[in-house]
Structure 1
Amino acid sequence: MQTELKLRIASGVVLAAVTLAATWFGGLAFQLLSALIALLVYYEWSTITDLQERDFQGNAVGWLGVVIIAGLIVTGYIGYSLPVLAAFVVLTVLWVFLQKTSWWLPGGIAYAGLTGISLAALRGADDLGLMATLFVFAVVWATDIFAYFTGRAIGGPKLAPRISPGKTWSGAIGGTICGIVAGVAVFMAYFSLQDLRIPIIALVLSVASQVGDLFESFIKRRFGVKDSSRLIPGHGGVMDRVDGLIFACVAALILVMIQYFVSDGRQIAFGSVLYSL
């Protein structure tokens, strides 16, 4: 077995073990993981887009915003993190207008901030949060894995050749089907499947994860980089590993917000949305 492949497998096992352990324990462990991922995502984003050179002062503001958001996540004040995120995005948008700097600045704050917030909000502190997180993980991981193998086995027309030449429609469809099956399997381990909205939610999350994958591929192609960083041996960077998960978690957060308004402001979580169906 090649050294690179061994390194990739070893680091993959370690990453999976740490992630699943933090997911199982929840609470501070998962909050720390979510905050760390948000900080590393902003580091990689600002490095790829060269914000340090393009706009040193703006990037400093961006770091301040993401650090504050990470602090709120770790201390359990997740409810305050979205308004803080919105404030820093608006502030940096105004900064871009006034200074004629890079639009990648507010984009990076939004991307990194939503990453940490959506992950932490998804897990929550109860058993429903654990189920919801495993549900999303199952959908995203199954979509990613089986999209690769289905695409390799069947081939066919490219999904987005200008963004990611290796992805095919067959892979996207195969990954989506397997993602739905995996999500439904996790849900049925907790509850009986009595509503067709569960597969539909899994479908939405699977599609969102593939859009997230394409979005990160677009950024890397735009700036001519192969990996978001070299932080993870054999795997590249954090963004390379969580690109699909980010968009799936944000989609879950949007579903929660929709349910929040439908339920007249009753505080809920994604696990409660799944359970209520």
Structure 2
Amino acid sequence: MADDKPGQSSELTRRVLSAAVLIPAVLLLLWLGGWPFLALLALAAVILVREWAGLTGSGDDMVLIAGLCAAGIGGLAVLGAFGGLAGLFTLSALAFLAAAIQAARAKPLLPVLAAYGYLLLPLLALGWLRAAPDYGLLLVLWLVLAVWATDTGAYAAGRGIGGPKLAPRFSPNKTWAGLLGGMAGASLVGLGMGAYLGQGHLPLMLLSAALAAIAQAGDITESALKRRAGVKDSGTLIPGHGGLLDRVDGLIFACAALALLAFLFQLQGMPVSRTILWP
């Protein structure tokens, strides 16, 4: 047991140092918004698609990698210039062009189409939410902080309390205590955002807890993918954390859910971010 402590301490140090570098950079680009934030999402698209190719065993297929990276960058770029629907159209057209090339070469289509829905659409949705008038920054900041608090609360409760496993078949380390701890952590972010806005706290706390549960589902989904691929991490990009997908697996699920909710509000003629943050 004593022999493990130096390794555990070194791993924790790497995790803390990586977070200390990455979190301020991400928050800065989020605050700037516009093209700087879209550039971050485009870079994330490239990295995530490469990691996806590795997880699905198609890492040697450059058509998959190049096509979906082009789809991600093209869709996000058009989003910045013309808005969400134009970005969605461009992203869809480029992704399905990559799928058509795959089909012509008798290559599997499923990895292309799955990556489109699993990775690129949530990134596009995140850019769309950030571009929301008036409160786009606060909306995405609340989302990101809620997911981070989910991860922290789940880790602390899972390690400190333990207990029954949440999804032992896919993620042996996840516990029900961790899920509740993550939901509690996210609820505190909702409480803080409600206090900052001077509005009712309970709706944002409940919505934050719901997003935490969705984020945990994203975490379990990626664990199942890694288990199927026989790997511990999706990549080695971030010291102490693994790949980028290991860090945003919950965020992409939560972002997709929040964007869908915002889109439904918009269909009713209600402002996206103001409706959610000011219930």
Q: Does the C-alpha gap of structure 1 residues 76 and 237 become closer, same or farther in structure 2, counting only changes over 3 Å?
A: farther
In 2, the alpha carbon distance for the partners of 1:273 and 1:60 equals: 38
In 2, the alpha carbon distance for the partners of 1:75 and 1:68 equals: 11
In 2, the alpha carbon distance for the partners of 1:76 and 1:15 equals: 29
State the shift of 1:13 in Å. Answer: 0.6
The 8 Å contact of residues 142 and 178 in structure 1, kept in 2 or not, is answered as yes
Are residue 139 (structure 1) and residue 126 (structure 2) matched? no
Secondary structure of the structure 2 residue equivalent to 1:51: coil
In 2, the alpha carbon distance for the partners of 1:31 and 1:76 equals: 13
Alpha carbon RMSD of aligned pairs, Å?
Answer: 2.5
**1:107-118 matches, cutoff 5 A:** 107-118=114-125
Letter in 1 for 2:68: G
Secondary structure of the structure 2 residue equivalent to 1:86: helix
State the shift of 1:163 in Å. Answer: 0.7
2:33 to 3, 12, 26: 26
Q: Which residue of 1 aligns with 2:85?
A: 79
Letter in 1 for 2:150: T
Secondary structure of the structure 1 residue equivalent to 2:15: helix
The 8 Å contact of residues 138 and 186 in structure 1, kept in 2 or not, is answered as no
State the shift of 1:200 in Å. Answer: 3.0
Q: Which residue of 1 aligns with 2:17?
A: 10
Q: Does the C-alpha gap of structure 1 residues 37 and 59 become closer, same or farther in structure 2, counting only changes over 3 Å?
A: closer
Secondary structure of the structure 1 residue equivalent to 2:163: coil
Are residue 106 (structure 1) and residue 113 (structure 2) matched? yes
The C-alpha deviation readout for 1:76-98, integer Å capped at 9, x for no partner, is: 64431222333455556667777
Q: Which residue of 2 aligns with 1:190?
A: 197
State the shift of 1:256 in Å. Answer: 1.1
State the shift of 1:39 in Å. Answer: 1.9
Q: Flag structure 1 segments of 5+ consecutive residues without an equivalent.
A: none
In 2, the alpha carbon distance for the partners of 1:61 and 1:178 equals: 38
Are residue 252 (structure 1) and residue 269 (structure 2) matched? no
Q: Does the C-alpha gap of structure 1 residues 64 and 261 become closer, same or farther in structure 2, counting only changes over 3 Å?
A: same
Q: Which moved more, 1:68-77 or 1:133-142?
A: 68-77
Are residue 120 (structure 1) and residue 127 (structure 2) matched? yes
Letter in 1 for 2:274: S
Secondary structure of the structure 1 residue equivalent to 2:135: helix
Secondary structure of the structure 1 residue equivalent to 2:18: helix
1:201 to 204, 207, 211: 207
State the shift of 1:177 in Å. Answer: 2.1
Q: Which residue of 1 aligns with 2:247?
A: 241
Q: Which residue of 1 aligns with 2:3?
A: none
In 2, the alpha carbon distance for the partners of 1:113 and 1:232 equals: 20
The 8 Å contact of residues 176 and 207 in structure 1, kept in 2 or not, is answered as yes
Q: Which residue of 1 aligns with 2:47?
A: 40
In 2, the alpha carbon distance for the partners of 1:201 and 1:94 equals: 39
The C-alpha deviation readout for 1:154-202, integer Å capped at 9, x for no partner, is: 21110000111000011101211221222221232123217x4323322
Question: Could you state the TM-score of these two structures normalised by the residue count of structure 1?
Answer: 0.87
Letter in 2 for 1:234: G
Count of residue correspondences: 271
Q: Which residue of 2 aligns with 1:212?
A: 218
Q: Which residue of 1 aligns with 2:177?
A: 170
Q: Which residue of 1 aligns with 2:231?
A: 225
